[in-house]
Chains A and B, each alone.
Chain A
Amino acid sequence: MIKVTDLTKAYGKNQVLKGISTHVEKGEVVALIGPSGSGKSTFLRCLNLLETPTSGTISIEGIELTNPKTDASRVRQRIGMVFQHFHLFPHMSVLDNITFAPIEVKGMTTDAARAKALELLARVGLSDKADSYPSRLSGGQKQRVAIARSLAMEPDIMLFDEPTSALDPEMVKEVLNVIRGLADSGMTMLIVTHEMKFAREAADTIYFLDQGILVERAAPDQFFNRPQSERAARFLEQVL
C-alpha cells in the first residue's frame, strides 16, 4: 500500500534521513521506535508531505506522492495524522472541529457530517463533549477528539506522531485503547511511540530507526527478544 524508496531528507548539511526504503501492507500496523533524533517523526511527516523529501520516492497505492504533478492535498485527504500536541482548532467546538474538514473539503452535507461525528465521538468515548470547546478538555480527551477528527475524513492510512508523549501518565491508557481499537479494525497505521509495551502488543511490525537509517524491520516478538543489530540491543537495554 505504501512504498518508500531511498528516501532522504536534509536540512542544509544536516542529513536527517539517509536513504530509507520500505513498504507497508494494507492493514499493517507499524510502530516506529528509536532514540530521539533518529528521524522517526521526520519519516512520518514525509509520508503526507508535511516535510518535503530531499530525494527518493514515496507512492501510495501506486500514486507517486513525490511527483510534483501529484495533487498533494487529494492524497493527504486519504491519510489521517494525529500530532503529539493535538492541534485542535481552539475557536471551534468539539463537534465543529470534527465536521469542518468533511463539510468544507469533502463536501459532505451538514447532517451527514454531524451524524458521523457523533458516531466517532461515541467510539472514542466522548459523546457528552460534542458542544464543549477544546480548552475545557483534558489532554487525553483532546487527543481522542483529534483522532476522531482525523477519522472523520475516512482515511485509508493513519499516522500517529508520538500521540501520548504530551499526556499525563494517567491519560495515556485511554488514548492507547482507542488506537488499539483502531488497529483491530484493520486500519493501516504508522505510529511513532515510546510506549514499548504498546508497540509490542499492538504492532505487526517494528521499525527501529537510528541516525536516519532504518536499522531493523521485524515482528515485535523477534525484535524485542532477539534484536539483530547491536544498536537495537543497546537501545532496548536502555528503555526496558
Chain B
Amino acid sequence: MRWKKRKARHSLLFIIALLTLSIVSLMPMLPTDHASAAKKKLVMGTSPDYPPYESVDAKGSGEIVGIDIDIAKYIANHLGYELQIASMDFSGLIAALQTGRVDFVMSGMSVTEERKKSVAFSESYYTARNTIVSRKDKAYETVEQLSGKVVGAQLGSIQDTFAQTIPGAKQKKLNKIADLIQEMNAKRLDAAIVEDAVAIEMVQANPNLVLSFLPSSEEDTGYAIAFPKQTKLVDAFNLELANMKANGELQKIIDKWFEGKKTAVNGSTGGLNIDFGVLNGYVPYILKGVYVTLLFTLVSALLGLCWGTVLSLFKISGVLPLQWFATAYTSVFRGTPLLVQLTIIYYATPQLFNFDIPALLAAGLAFGLNSAAYLSETIRGGIMAVDKGQREASIALGIPYRKMMARIIFPQALRHILPALVNEFVALLKESSLVSVIGVSELMRRADVVRASTFRAFEALLFVAAIYYVLVLVLTSLARMLERRLRRSD
C-alpha cells in the first residue's frame, strides 16, 4: 500500500517534471532574443522550399542556404549586423513582418501592388524569366498553344499573375512547386508557368518533363526584399544592392547557385513514377522531425489533459462564475478555427506580454488550450458516468474532496474515457502538421522542404505518411496496454 501511495505521488511529480522539461526544451529552438535587434542583429524571415533561392541543406549541415541567403549575408555583413534566419511557411511571412517577429523577408518574393499595401520593398535584386513546363509526350512551347489548356502556377507568385494573362487558358493555382509536378504527372495540368531557375531543376529531377523559355518582358518586377513599413533599413539595403550590382558580387552569387546545382536524378517515366532513391541523404533530416512532432504532441497532450481536467472540475463545481468561465472557454475554443488560435497566440504574445514566444512553444500552447476545450467535455462526461454512490461512500468515510477525486473518481472515469482520449491524442499527433505555418520544422514541414529540394512530388509525402502511421500504431498499442492494466479489476 505504501508503495502505491508513493507511486501516485511520483507519477504526478513525473508529469509536472515532464511538462516543465518539455517547455524548457522548446525554448532554444528558434532565435528568440531578437528584442536585441538594436544591438546589431537582423532577423530574416524565409520559407526554405524554393531552391535555388532558399532551401534546407538537408543532406549536409541542415542549414538554410541559397541565393537569397547569400545576398542577405553579404548585405548584413557590410552594414555591420549579425544575420539570423527564421524559417516559416511562405503564407506566414507578411504577418511575421507586420508583427515585428522578423526584420526583413527574402523568400523569392515578388513585388505586387497587393503586398505593397502592407510592406515596403527594396529595389529588385533579380528578375526571373518565365518558362512553360509540360510533359515530354505532350509538350507546349508558346503561350498561344496553351489556349484551352489547364495551366498551373504557384499561388501568389508572379508567374500566377502572368498565367492569368494567357488567352483562353484555364487557371489552376497550387501552393507548392511539388504540387505542380504532381498535377502534371497526374495529367490534371497540361502545363505550368514556372520561373527559369526552378524550371531547370524541375526538369532535371523529372525526366518526363520539358521546359521552354518565354520571351522576357519589361513588366517583370522581379524579386525584392520586403520590410515593415517605415523602416530606415530600406535605404541602406538599396545602397548595398546597388553596390553589389556594380561590383559584380550579385552576379557572382547568382552564377554560383545556377551552376552548382546540377544534380542528375534517375527517374523512370512510366507509371506512378516513384523512386525512393531520391530521398537518399534526406532521411536523417526528415527523421529529426519525429522528435519535434513527438515533443509537440506530448506538450499539447499533457497541457490539454491537465487544463481540461481543471475545466471539467469547474464545470461540475456548482460555483457559478467557474462554470460560466469554463463554458465560455469551451465555446470559444471549439467555435473558432485552430489555425486562427495558433496564429493569434504566436503573433500577439510578443506584443501583449513582451515575451518573444518560440514557435514550438506557441504551437504547444495553442494546441493544448484547444484540446483542453474538447477534453474538458470528455472528462466531465467520464466523471458523471461514475456511480454517484462512489462519491457518497467516499464522503461517508471522511475522504477529503481532492483525494476522492484523484484516487476514487478519476481512476474510474479514466477507464470510461480512455478510448476518447486516445482518439484526441492521435488527432493531435496528426494535426501537428498545421504548425508548419509558424515555422516549426515538424515532420510534414520537413517533407515539404524535401519535396521542394528534390522537385519530386510523392516520395517524401509517402515516407512521412509511413512515419505518422507507425507513430500512431505505437501510441495506440501503448494505450491498449494501459487499458488492459485498468481493466485488471474486472
Distance of A240 Cα from B408 Cα, bound (Å): 42
Distance of A95 Cα from B107 Cα, bound (Å): 67
Partner of B396, one of A80, A90, A134: A80
Question: Are A90 and B412 neighbours in the complex by a CB distance under 8 Å?
Answer: yes
Q: Which residues of A contact B230 (CB under 8 A)?
A: none
Q: Does A237 interact with chain B (Cβ within 8 Å)?
A: no
Q: Which residues of B contact A122 (CB under 8 A)?
A: none
Q: Does B431 interact with chain A (Cβ within 8 Å)?
A: no
Q: Does A48 interact with chain B (Cβ within 8 Å)?
A: yes
Question: Are A87 and B392 neighbours in the complex by a CB distance under 8 Å?
Answer: yes
Shortest CB-to-CB span from B464 to chain A, Å, is 39
Report A106-150 residues with CB < 8 Å from chain B CB.
Answer: 110, 113-114, 133-135, 146, 149-150
Distance of A85 Cα from B395 Cα, bound (Å): 15
Distance of A113 Cα from B1 Cα, bound (Å): 9
Q: Does A210 interact with chain B (Cβ within 8 Å)?
A: no
Q: Which residues of B contact A99 (CB under 8 A)?
A: 1
Distance of A92 Cα from B490 Cα, bound (Å): 10
Partner of B390, one of A87, A93, A103, A113: A87
Q: Does A50 interact with chain B (Cβ within 8 Å)?
A: yes
Q: How many residue pairs at the A-B interface have CB separations less than 8 Å?
A: 79
Q: Does B186 interact with chain A (Cβ within 8 Å)?
A: no
In the complex, the chain A residue whose C-beta lies closest to that of B386 is: A90
In the complex, the chain A residue whose C-beta lies closest to that of B411 is: A91
Distance of A80 Cα from B392 Cα, bound (Å): 12
Q: Which residues of B contact A92 (CB under 8 A)?
A: 489
Q: Does A89 interact with chain B (Cβ within 8 Å)?
A: yes
Q: How large is the interface on B (under 10, 10 to 19, 20 to 34, 35 or more residues)?
A: 20 to 34
A110-B1, A110-B2, A135-B489 given; A89·B396 CB < 8 A: no
Question: Are B2 and A91 neighbours in the complex by a CB distance under 8 Å?
Answer: no
Question: Are B489 and A101 neighbours in the complex by a CB distance under 8 Å?
Answer: no
Distance of A74 Cα from B407 Cα, bound (Å): 20
Distance of A93 Cα from B392 Cα, bound (Å): 19
Q: Does B475 interact with chain A (Cβ within 8 Å)?
A: no
Question: Are B486 and A91 neighbours in the complex by a CB distance under 8 Å?
Answer: yes
Q: Which residues of A contact B393 (CB under 8 A)?
A: 81, 83, 87-89, 146
Distance of A17 Cα from B317 Cα, bound (Å): 28
Shortest CB-to-CB span from B119 to chain A, Å, is 59
Q: Which residues of A contact B396 (CB under 8 A)?
A: 48, 50, 76, 79-81, 150
Closest 9 pairs between A and B when the two form their complex, measured CB to CB: A87-B393, A87-B389, A77-B398, A81-B396, A133-B489, A101-B397, A110-B2, A110-B1, A76-B398
A-B contact pairs, 29 of them (CB 8 A): A50-B392, A50-B396, A73-B400, A76-B395, A77-B397, A77-B398, A79-B396, A83-B389, A83-B393, A85-B389, A86-B389, A87-B390, A87-B393, A89-B393, A89-B408, A90-B412, A91-B411, A91-B412, A91-B486, A91-B489, A95-B1, A96-B1, A96-B4, A101-B398, A101-B399, A104-B407, A113-B1, A114-B1, A133-B488
